[in-house]
Amino acid sequence: MYMKADPDEAWEKLRGSRANPPGKAGGGARRKTYGAALEQAEQMFRAAAVVGPATRPLQVFYGLSQAGRAIAAAAVDLKGEDWRLDGHGIKASGFDKPFPDIEIRTDPSTSRASFVRLSQLLDSPVWGKDPVRLEDVWDMLPVNLDYPLTDRNRHPALYTDDRSIHGDPHPLLHVPVCDIPDWVIDNGGRETTNAFFAKYPGLAQRHEYVRRTPHPDGPPDFTRYDHGGGELRVSWLMPQGHALVEERREHHHSLTRSHGRSRWFLPAISPTGREPHLLMAWWSVVYTLSMLARYEPAGWDGLISVDNNNHAVPIESLLKRAIEFLPGLIVATVDEVSG
């Protein structure tokens, strides 16, 4: 469902911004950091594109980390010296566990480290000492829709299209919610659907979903895909009553997260009840892979062996798509914080 990314176009936009930096990066130390950090980020990503998976997560993560410093330098909401980042602010452990069960923790909200400071800037949660499983964050990335790590019931990113929002002023916002897993549809009942949607803060606020029958307790009217999964048309009652197309589209954006030109409903990170910004979801996953590659080289070598490990191809796919999609997400995030 996501659109093809053009990393070269994204890097051109970022390079073009350095002559007249956005937001608070217009002068002084912030301007110097913005330009230098983006140069390092681009070189890291371009280096990642020409190496294999044995070292690729290191270049991808440190490229993303440097891009984070440029984002902070441009951010209008970071005053004084708050834009300076110090340390990672995120930890991965449990490398002796199965790959999907590796644990991710963050520093507390008082930290000025990169992950915490950027998460606060982007209205994205941190969760401190409560561990989050790698698989749960992995499934939040739209590029991983076709690459599950286990056969457990998944809560993936759900695509939604605001191009269907049109017509005269109306009190209801109607949009399709796509990529609903088979395990939800196969059950077919309201209870399972309600419980599934409750994991997604944007969907938990829904007004109602379309039913197969006019009865209030009728089952939802899923549309199945030939390749598996399906979608459901969902509606929300607009807070102000009858609303124009742009007002309904703005409300839709308030319920979702962006990834490139697409909008997505994301599940909440369990300890927090809040969904992450997609940049921070990516950050969590590529950081974890980089720590595995750096500190557990033998274990990492086993994970990326396509002859011996069923996680190898999903990992290869994730790292390839990180190089494709993250530059565009960095562009969008710079725009978001500097406007």
How many helices (H) and strands (E) would you count in the chain? 12, 10
Q: E-assigned strands of 74-200?
A: 90-93, 103-106, 132-133, 158-160, 172-180
Q: Work out the angle at residue 47's Cα, subtended by the Cα atoms of residues 68 and 291, and round it to the nearest 5 degrees.
A: 60
Pairing of strands 230-237, 208-209: antiparallel
Indicate left, alpha or beta for 28 from its phi (over 0: left) and psi (-120 to 50: alpha): left
The pLDDT of residue 239: 87
What parts of the chain have a pLDDT lower than 50? Answer: 1, 212-213
pTM: 0.94
The encoded tokens of residue 79 equal: 């005053």
Write down the pLDDT at residue 16. 97
Name, in order, each residue with C-beta under 8 angstroms of 270's C-beta and a sequence gap of 6 or more.
130, 132, 136
pLDDT at residue 35, rounded to an integer? 98
**199: exposed, middle or buried (Cβ count in 10 Å: 0-12, 13-18, 19+):** middle
pLDDT in tens, 171-201: 989 899 999 999 999 987 888 999 999 999 9
User: Angle at the Cα of 185 (from 189 to 199), degrees rounded to 5?
Assistant: 80
Q: Is 241 left (phi over 0), alpha (psi -120 to 50) or beta?
A: left
Cα torsion angle, 272, 114, 13, 78, sign: positive
* pLDDT at residue number 164: 82
Q: What gap in Å lies between CA 334 and CA 2, rounded to an integer?
A: 21
Nearest to 56 by CA among 333, 323, 325: 323
pLDDT in tens, 201-213: 999 877 666 554 4
Element containing residue 282 per DSSP (H, E): helix 278-295
Closest CA to 133 of 114, 149, 109: 149
pLDDT of residue 215: 58
Q: What pLDDT is stored for residue 208 in this prediction?
A: 67
Cβ neighbours of 201 (radius 10 Å): 18
